[in-house]
C-alpha cells in the first residue's frame, strides 16, 4: 500500500493551476485509486469483460472493440438522459464550480475541478457528436478517444464522490454526479469498475447485503448487540427476522451490523423500536439499505434496490422504515419509486405511536428513521435524558446525498438537539446544502486509496477542526453509514480527538427505557458523565 | 418523463418572440420617408445647398447642432465657417429653420420614421407652419 | 491558443464584411442574404437543439435540493430552493433565469495557513447579471428599427436608458454596461488561473464577438455616423421581406450587421444554448416531491434480479438452523 504523506505535507495545496488542464500529464498514482474489479464479482453481476486486471499495469485487458462500445454507449445515454445531453452542451466554463469540489480543494489537481472532470468527457463528445468538434477539432476543445483518455476517465470518475456540491453552484444546475454516474456506466461496459464497488455489489446481489453477511450471521450479529444492550441497560430485547405480517419492515445499511461505530447506531435502532414496542421486522434478504449498484450503473442500482419492495411485498408489511444512510436515501428518495414502484401493495405510512401521517412519503411508503424519531420527540413520546451525552460536544455533518438529494436538514438537527446538550454548527459554508463530502463516498472508501480519501476529506476535516479548536467539539454526528466508516480515520488523520457517531446512538444513550437499570456506561461501554472514571 | 407539452409551449413562445419583428409588421405599409425641401426660402435659392453637404447633414446634423449650441451658449461665438469657406450664423431658428420652415414635413419626417425624439424643441419654439 | 484563434476569427469576420462591402460592393449579400440565412440558422438550429434534447427523456427525478424540503408542518421549508410543487418550481426557475440564483451563492475558497476559508464572491454574479440584462435591453431597443410605429414600452425603455441626456445622440447606459460586462467576463478569463486554464476558444470567441458587435454599434451611433434612415430602410426591408441594401450607408453598419449575423448563426451550435438549456435542466426544473409523486421513466425495463426464492435456496439449511422462517421446508 502506498504511504500516505503526513498531514503537514498533504495540506500544502496549490489551488492556482499553472497551465491549461489538458497540458498536465496524467499520473495514475498509487494511493489515489482503488484496485480493479475482480473477475468473479463481475461475473456474479453479469457485467461484461469479466477478468482480473490491475490499473497499475499498462494493459487493462480491454475488449477488442472497446472504442466503438464506448461511443455507442455515449450515444445511447445521450438519448436516454436529458440531463447528460444538456450537460454536455451548455456548460459555459464560468468556473463557479471549480473551487467547490472537495477533491480539488484537497489536491489542487485541475482535473478535479468539476468543470474539467466533465470536460474530459465533453471533449470526446464534441469530437464525435457535434459539428463544431468534427470540423474544428482541438480548436473547438475536441479530442479523440484513446486508451490514455479512457484511463484518464477511469482515474477521475473514481475521484468523484457524486456529492453534487458543484451542481448547487452551477447556474444551469450541471451536476457532475450525473456525469460521473454516466461515465462510470461507460467504464462498466468495458469491465473497468473498482473492486471496492463490485465486491460489495456482488455480495449484495447474492447475499442481500454489501458485507456478504449470510442470514444466520445477521441474526447472530444482532444477538451480539442484544447481549451488550442487556449488559448496559438491563433490558432484554427480542427483535424478529423475516417475519410475515409485521406492520413495518426495517432496512438499514449492513455496515451498521459490522463495524464500530455503526454498530452502536444499530443498537440504537434496536433499543428505540423495543421501547416503542414497534411491530416491525428485520429482513435478511433485504438486509442492505445502501446501494453500491448505484455507483456502477442505473441498471445495477435497480437490481439491488428491487429487494426492498420485493421483501416488503413478500412479508406483507404496511410500510418501510429506512435507517441512517446517505446514498441509500438518495436512491430511496429520488430513484426507488421510479425503479421498482409503484408500491401500491403498501399503505401510506402512519406512525403507530403518534398517529402522524407521513405525507412526504405517501408514494414510496418509505420513511427515514430520523423523521420517525423526530416526530416521536415532537409529540413527547420519548423519555429522554440528554445529560447522559453531556461528555459530548457535538457537531453535525450533513451527508451529501440527504443534503442535496433530499433537502433533509432540520430533522436530524432537531433530534440531536433534543438528545444532546452541547451542539455547535460548523461554519455555514460547510454545512446543510453546502456540506462537504466525507471524501470517501460513492464506493471510494477502500483502504488502498487512503491518500485520495484524506485529500477529499480535507475540507470536511478542516471545518471540524474549526469547531474542535473553537468549541472543543469532540463528537461528529451524522446520519450515514459510509460516514461512520470513513470519518473516523479522517478525524484521526486531520483532527485527532474527534470521534464519530450515528445519530441514533445519541438517541439510545439519552433514551430512558421502561424497566431499565441505572445505566453506568454508554453504548460504547464508557462511563456516563458523572458515573466514575471522570 | 418527457414534458413534451411544456417544451413545445416553450418553443412556441421562443419562436413567437424571435419572429416578432416580422409578425408585428405584417400587412403594414412601409413608407419610406421623403423629407420635403419645398419651402419658399429654398425655392428662391439658385443653388440648393445646405450648410454642409447633403450626406454629411444626413448623418451628422445632430452632432453639428449640438456643437453650434455649445459654441453659442458657452463661448458666445455665432460665426460658423463651413467646409467650403462660406460663413453662417449659428442659429437653429434663424438659419436652419429659415430655409427649412416646414418642420413637420422635413424634420419630423425622418425623426418619426426612426423613432427619434430630439430635445431641440424642449427649449426652442417650433416655427409656425402654413402661415 | 484559444484567445489568438478567437481573436483572429473575429478579425476575419470584420475583414470579410469590410472587403465584401467596401471592395466588392456586395451590399445585398451582406445586407439581406446573410442576415436572412443567419436568422434561419438561429431559429432552425435553436428548435433543432431543443427538440433533440426534448427527445431524450428525464428518466429520474433528480432536483438538486438547496434548502429544507417538505417535511412535518412544524419544520420550516425553503420552498424556493427545495420546491414542493410546480408553482414553487416556477419560482425557483424565475429566480434562476432572471436573477441567477445559483451564481449568487458563489464563494471563493482559499487556503490560508492550512485552513480553508470561504469568502463571498459576487462579482461573477454581478457582472454576469449586468452583461445579460444589458444585452437584452440593447436587443429590445433595436426594435425601433424593426417597427413602423415604435410601441410605447420600447420608447419608455429608451428614455430611461438615455436618462442622463449626455452627448449627442444621447448615450445609452446599456451600451456602456454591455461593454463593461463583456470586458469583465473576458478579463477574468484571462487573469484568473482557475478560469484561464479551463477556457477554450469557444469561451473567448463569443465574448470577443459580442465585444466587437457592441463596439461597432457604439462607433456607429456616436463616432462614425451612418445614415440612420437608410439603416431603418434595411431593417424594415428585411422584416417586410422586401430587402434593400443601399450603398449609401457606411460600411461600419454592414460590419455590425455581419457580426450580429455571425452571432445568430453560431448561437445554436455553441455553449450559448445555455439560454435554452437552463429551462430544461432536470436538477432545477423538478419539484422535490419524489417520495410523494411517482416519477415515470419511459425506458424503465425489467432487470435480472436475485429473487427471494433463489436466496432461500442458497441458504435454506443455514436459515433453518438459525431459527429463521423459510417459505419451503
Q: What tens digit of pLDDT does each residue of A397-431 get?
A: 999 999 999 999 999 999 999 999 999 999 999 99
H or E element that contains A330: helix A327-334
Range of the domain at A178: 25-198
Distance CA A292, CA A290 (A): 7
Distance CA A88, CA A123 (A): 9
Residue A46: count other Cβ atoms within 10 Å of its Cβ. Answer: 13
| pLDDT confidence of residue B122 | 86
Q: Is residue A297 assigned to a domain?
A: yes
DSSP class per residue in B44-74? H-SS---SS-HHHHHHHHHHHHHHHHIIIII
Q: C193–A362: do the CB atoms touch at under 8 Å?
A: no
H or E element that contains C9: helix C2-18
Q: C168–B22: do the CB atoms touch at under 8 Å?
A: no
Which residues touch C259 (CB under 8 Å, ≥6 apart)?
C10, C13, C14, C17, C209, C212, C213, C216
Total domains present in chain A: 2
Structural domain ending residue among the three candidates A141, A172, A198: A198
Chain B CB contacts of C59 under 8 Å are 1
Q: Is residue A240 located within the same domain as residue A168? A: no
How many CB pairs below 8 A link B and C?
Answer: 98
Chain A CB contacts of C107 under 8 Å are 99-100, 169, 429
Chain B CB contacts of C231 under 8 Å are 114
Q: pLDDT band for A534, please (50, 70, 90 cuts).
A: very low
The vertex-A47 CA angle with A42 and A48, nearest 5°, equals 110
Q: Is residue A401 assigned to a domain?
A: yes
Q: C239–B28: do the CB atoms touch at under 8 Å?
A: no
Domain with CATH 1.20.950.20 in chain C: 2-298
**Chain-wide mean pLDDT for chain A?**
96
Give this prediction's pTM: 0.94
Residue C300: count other Cβ atoms within 10 Å of its Cβ. Answer: 15
Given C57, C146, C228, which is nearest B21 (Cβ)?
C146
Q: pLDDT band for B127, please (50, 70, 90 cuts).
A: confident
Contacting C residues, span 237-266, partner chain B, CB-CB under 8 Å:
237-242, 248, 250
Q: C43–B2: do the CB atoms touch at under 8 Å?
A: no
Q: C146–B32: do the CB atoms touch at under 8 Å?
A: no
In order of B40, B80, B85, the CA distances from B88 in angstroms are 19, 5, 10
Q: A82–C107: do the CB atoms touch at under 8 Å?
A: no
User: For residue C166, is pLDDT > 90?
Assistant: no
Q: A19–C197: do the CB atoms touch at under 8 Å?
A: yes
Q: C236–B19: do the CB atoms touch at under 8 Å?
A: no
- Does residue A254 have a cis peptide bond before it, meaning omega lies within 30 degrees of 0? no
Contacting B residues, span 96-115, partner chain C, CB-CB under 8 Å:
110, 113-115
Distance CA A302, CA A294 (A): 8
| pLDDT confidence of residue A530 | 86
| pLDDT confidence of residue C248 | 83
Lowest mean pLDDT among A32-41, C80-89, C220-229, C293-302: C220-229
Distance CA C217, CA C138 (A): 10
Q: Is residue A269 located within the same domain as residue A323? A: yes
Q: Chains touching chain C at 3 or more Cβ pairs under 8 angstroms?
A: A, B
Residue in A128, A118, A117 with CA at minimum distance from that of residue A90:
A118
Q: Is residue A408 located within the same domain as residue A477? A: yes
Structural domain ending residue among the three candidates A155, A176, A198: A198
Given B1, B24, B110, which is nearest C147 (Cβ)?
B24
Residue in A122, A156, A144 with CA at minimum distance from that of residue A26:
A156
Mean pLDDT for the stretch of residues C67-75: 97
The counts of H helices and E strands in chain B are: 7, 2
Cell digits of residue A23: 497540458
Contact indicator for A412, A491 with CB cutoff of 8 Å: no
Q: Is residue A249 located within the same domain as residue A105? A: no
Q: Is residue A519 assigned to a domain?
A: no
CATH number of the domain at C2-298, please? 1.20.950.20
Q: Chains touching chain A at 3 or more Cβ pairs under 8 angstroms?
A: C
Q: Any CB–CB contact under 8 A between C228 and chain B?
A: yes
Nearest residue of C to residue B33 by CA position? C229
Residue B97: count other Cβ atoms within 10 Å of its Cβ. Answer: 21
Greatest Cα-to-Cα distance within chain A, rounded to the nearest angstrom: 78
Contacting C residues, span 284-323, partner chain B, CB-CB under 8 Å:
295-298
Q: pLDDT band for A271, please (50, 70, 90 cuts).
A: very high
Q: Where are the domains of chain B?
A: 37-131
Q: Is residue A145 located within the same domain as residue A194? A: yes
**Chain-wide mean pLDDT for chain C?**
95
| pLDDT confidence of residue B130 | 59
Distance CA A201, CA A204 (A): 5
| pLDDT confidence of residue A532 | 66
Distance CA A360, CA A353 (A): 18
DSSP class per residue in A113-169? SHHHHHHHHHHHHHHHH-HHHHHHGGGGT-----HHHHHHHHHHHTS-----HHHHH
Best residue in B30, B57, B60, B118 for a mutation probing chain C (most C CBs within 10 Å)? B30
| pLDDT confidence of residue B11 | 97
Residue in A12, A525, A8, A529 with CA at minimum distance from that of residue A225:
A525
Given B20, B25, B59, which is nearest C227 (Cβ)?
B59
Cell digits of residue A347: 399503505
Nearest residue of A to residue C197 by CA position? A20
Q: Is residue A293 located within the same domain as residue A260? A: yes
- Looking at residue C272, the DSSP 8-state letter turns out to be G
Q: Is residue A451 assigned to a domain?
A: yes
CA dihedral B35, B38, B44, B50 (to 10 degrees): 0
CA dihedral A73, A75, A76, A81 (to 10 degrees): 110
Give tens-digit pLDDT for A5-14. Answer: 999 999 999 9
Distance CA B11, CA A365 (A): 37
Instruction: Give the three-class secondary structure for C6.
Output: helix
Mean pLDDT for the stretch of residues A17-45: 95
Contact indicator for A234, A73 with CB cutoff of 8 Å: no
User: For residue B24, is pLDDT > 80?
Assistant: yes
Q: Is residue A219 located within the same domain as residue A341? A: yes
Task: Provide the residue count of chain A.
Answer: 534
Min Cα separation B47/chain C (Å): 23
Given A86, A241, A337, which is nearest C53 (Cβ)?
A86
Q: C47–B11: do the CB atoms touch at under 8 Å?
A: yes
- Residue C121 phi/psi, 5-degree rounding, is -140, 90
Q: Is residue A235 assigned to a domain?
A: yes
Amino acid at each position: 500500500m502506498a504511504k500516505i504523506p503526513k498531514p503537514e505535507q498533504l495540506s500544502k495545496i496549490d489551488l492556482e493551476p499553472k497551465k491549461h488542464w489538458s497540458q498536465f500529464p496524467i499520473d495514475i498514482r498509487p494511493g489515489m485509486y482503488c484496485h480493479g474489479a475482480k473477475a468473479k464479482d463481475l461475473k456474479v453481476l453479469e457485467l461484461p469483460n469479466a477478468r482480473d486486471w490491475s490499473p497499475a499495469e499498462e494493459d487493462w485487458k480491454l475488449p477488442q472493440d472497446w472504442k466503438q462500445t464506448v461511443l455507442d454507449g455515449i450515444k445511447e445515454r445521450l438519448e436516454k438522459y436529458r440531463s447528460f445531453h444538456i450537460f454536455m452542451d451548455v456548460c459555459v466554463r464560468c468556473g463557479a464550480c471549480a473551487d467547490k469540489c472537495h477533491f480539488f480543494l484537497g489536491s489542487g489537481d485541475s482535473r478535479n475541478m468539476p468543470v474539467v472532470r466533465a470536460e474530459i468527457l465533453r471533449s470526446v463528445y464534441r469530437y464525435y457528436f457535434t459539428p463544431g468538434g468534427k470540423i474544428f477539432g482541438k480548436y473547438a476543445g475536441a479530442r479523440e478517444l484513446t486508451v490514455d483518455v479512457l484511463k484518464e476517465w477511469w482515474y477521475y470518475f473514481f475521484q468523484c464522490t457524486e456529492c453534487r456540491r458543484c451542481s448547487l453552484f452551477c447556474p444551469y444546475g450541471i451536476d457532475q454526479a450525473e456525469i460521473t454516474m454516466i461515465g462510470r456506466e461507460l467504464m462498466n461496459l468495458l469491465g473497468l469498475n473498482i473492486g471496492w464497488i463490485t465486491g460489495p455489489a456482488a455480495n449484495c446481489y447474492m447475499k442481500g447485503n454489501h458485507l456478504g453477511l449470510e442470514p444466520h450471521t445477521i441474526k447472530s450479529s444482532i444477538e451480539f448487540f442484544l447481549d451488550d444492550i442487556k449488559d448496559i441497560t438491563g433490558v432484554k430485547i427480542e427483535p424478529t427476522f423475516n417475519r410475515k405480517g409485521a406492520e413495518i419492515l426495517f432496512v438499514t445499511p449492513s455496515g451498521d451490523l459490522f463495524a464500530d461505530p455503526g454498530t452502536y447506531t444499530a443498537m440504537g435502532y434496536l433499543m428505540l423500536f423495543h421501547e416503542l414496542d414497534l411491530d416491525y421486522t428485520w429482513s435478511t434478504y433485504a438486509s442492505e439499505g445502501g446501494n453500491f449498484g448505484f455507483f456502477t450503473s442505473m441498471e445495477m442500482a435497480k437490481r439491488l434496490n428491487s429487494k426492498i419492495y420485493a421483501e416488503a411485498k413478500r412479508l406483507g408489511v404496511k410500510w418501510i422504515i429506512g435507517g441512517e444512510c446517505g446514498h441509500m436515501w438518495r436512491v430511496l428518495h429520488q430513484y426507488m419509486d421510479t425503479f421498482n414502484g409503484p408500491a401500491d401493495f403498501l399503505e401510506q405510512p402512519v406512525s403507530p405511536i403518534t398517529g402522524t401521517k407521513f405525507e412526504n412519503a405517501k408514494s414510496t411508503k418509505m420513511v427515514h428513521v430520523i423523521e420517525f424519531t423526530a416526530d416521536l420527540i415532537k409529540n413527547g413520546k420519548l423519555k429522554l435524558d440528554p445529560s447522559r451525552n453531556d461528555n459530548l460536544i457535538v457537531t453535525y455533518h450533513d451527508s451529501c446525498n440527504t443534503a442535496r438529494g433530499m433537502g433533509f436538514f432540520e430533522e436530524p438537527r432537531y433530534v440531536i438537539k433534543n438528545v444532546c446538550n452541547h451542539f455547535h454548527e460548523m461554519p455555514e459554508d460547510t454545512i446543510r446544502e453546502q456540506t462537504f463530502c466525507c471524501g470517501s463516498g460513492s464506493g471510494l472508501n477502500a483502504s488502498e486509496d487512503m491518500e485520495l480519501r484524506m485529500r477529499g476529506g480535507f475540507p470536511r476535516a478542516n471545518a471540524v477542526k474549526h469547531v474542535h479548536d473553537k468549541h472543543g467539539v469532540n463528537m461528529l454526528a451524522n446520519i450515514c453509514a459510509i460516514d461512520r466508516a470513513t470519518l473516523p480515520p479522517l478525524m484521526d488523520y486531520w483532527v485527532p480527538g474527534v470521534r464519530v457517531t450515528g445519530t441514533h446512538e445519541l438517541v439510545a444513550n439519552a433514551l430512558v427505557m421502561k424497566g431499565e437499570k441505572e445505566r453506568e456506561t454508554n453504548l460504547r461501554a464508557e462511563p456516563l458523565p458523572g458515573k466514575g472514571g471522570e | 418523463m418527457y414534458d413534451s407539452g411544456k417544451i413545445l409551449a416553450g418553443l412556441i413562445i421562443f419562436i413567437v418572440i424571435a419572429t416578432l419583428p416580422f409578425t408585428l409588421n405584417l400587412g403594414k405599409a412601409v413608407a419610406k420617408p421623403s423629407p420635403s425641401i419645398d419651402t419658399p426660402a429654398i425655392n428662391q435659392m439658385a443653388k440648393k445647398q445646405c450648410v454642409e453637404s447633403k450626406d454629411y447633414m444626413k448623418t451628422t446634423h445632430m452632432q453639428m447642432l449640438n456643437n453650434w449650441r455649445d459654441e453659442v451658449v458657452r463661448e458666445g461665438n455665432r460665426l460658423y465657417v463651413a467646409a467650403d469657406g462660406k460663413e453662417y450664423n449659428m442659429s437653429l431658428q434663424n438659419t436652419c429653420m429659415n430655409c427649412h420652415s416646414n418642420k413637420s414635413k422635413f424634420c419630423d419626417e425622418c425623426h418619426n420614421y426612426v423613432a427619434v425624439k430630439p430635445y431641440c424643441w424642449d427649449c426652442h419654439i417650433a416655427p409656425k407652419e402654413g402661415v | 491558443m484559444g484567445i489568438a484563434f478567437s481573436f483572429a476569427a473575429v478579425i476575419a469576420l470584420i475583414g470579410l464584411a469590410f472587403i465584401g462591402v467596401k471592395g466588392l460592393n456586395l451590399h445585398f449579400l451582406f445586407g439581406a442574404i446573410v442576415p436572412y440565412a443567419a436568422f434561419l440558422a438561429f431559429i432552425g438550429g435553436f428548435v433543432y437543439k431543443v427538440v433533440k434534447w426534448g427527445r431524450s427523456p428525464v428518466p429520474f427525478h433528480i432536483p438538486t435540493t438547496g434548502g429544507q424540503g417538505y417535511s412535518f408542518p412544524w419544520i420550516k421549508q425553503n420552498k424556493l430552493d427545495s420546491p414542493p410543487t410546480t408553482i414553487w418550481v416556477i419560482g425557483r426557475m424565475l429566480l434562476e433565469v432572471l436573477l441567477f440564483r445559483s451564481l449568487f451563492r458563489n464563494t471563493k475558497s482559499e487556503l490560508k495557513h492550512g485552513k480553508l476559508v470561504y469568502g463571498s464572491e459576487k462579482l461573477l454574479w454581478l457582472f454576469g447579471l449586468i452583461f445579460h440584462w444589458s444585452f437584452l435591453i440593447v436587443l429590445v431597443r433595436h426594435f425601433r428599427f424593426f417597427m413602423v410605429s415604435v410601441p410605447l414600452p420600447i420608447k419608455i425603455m429608451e428614455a430611461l436608458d438615455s436618462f442622463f441626456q449626455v452627448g449627442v445622440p444621447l448615450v445609452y447606459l446599456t451600451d456602456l454596461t454591455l461593454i463593461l460586462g463583456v470586458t469583465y467576463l473576458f478579463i477574468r478569463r484571462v487573469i484568473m488561473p482557475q478560469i484561464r486554464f479551463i477556457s477554450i476558444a469557444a469561451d473567448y470567441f463569443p465574448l470577443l464577438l459580442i465585444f466587437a458587435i457592441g463596439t461597432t454599434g457604439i462607433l456607429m451611433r456616436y463616432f462614425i455616423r451612418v445614415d440612420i434612415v437608410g439603416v431603418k430602410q434595411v431593417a424594415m426591408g428585411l422584416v417586410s421581406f422586401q430587402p434593400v441594401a443601399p450603398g449609401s450607408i457606411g460600411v461600419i453598419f454592414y460590419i455590425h450587421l455581419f457580426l450580429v449575423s455571425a452571432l445568430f448563426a453560431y448561437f445554436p451550435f455553441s455553449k450559448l444554448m445555455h439560454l435554452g438549456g437552463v429551462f430544461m435542466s432536470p436538477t432545477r426544473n423538478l419539484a422535490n416531491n419524489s417520495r410523494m409523486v411517482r416519477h415515470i421513466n419511459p425506458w424503465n425495463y425489467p432487470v435480472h434480479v436475485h429473487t427471494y426464492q433463489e436466496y432461500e435456496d442458497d441458504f435454506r439449511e443455514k436459515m433453518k438452523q438459525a431459527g429463521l422462517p423459510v417459505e419451503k421446508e
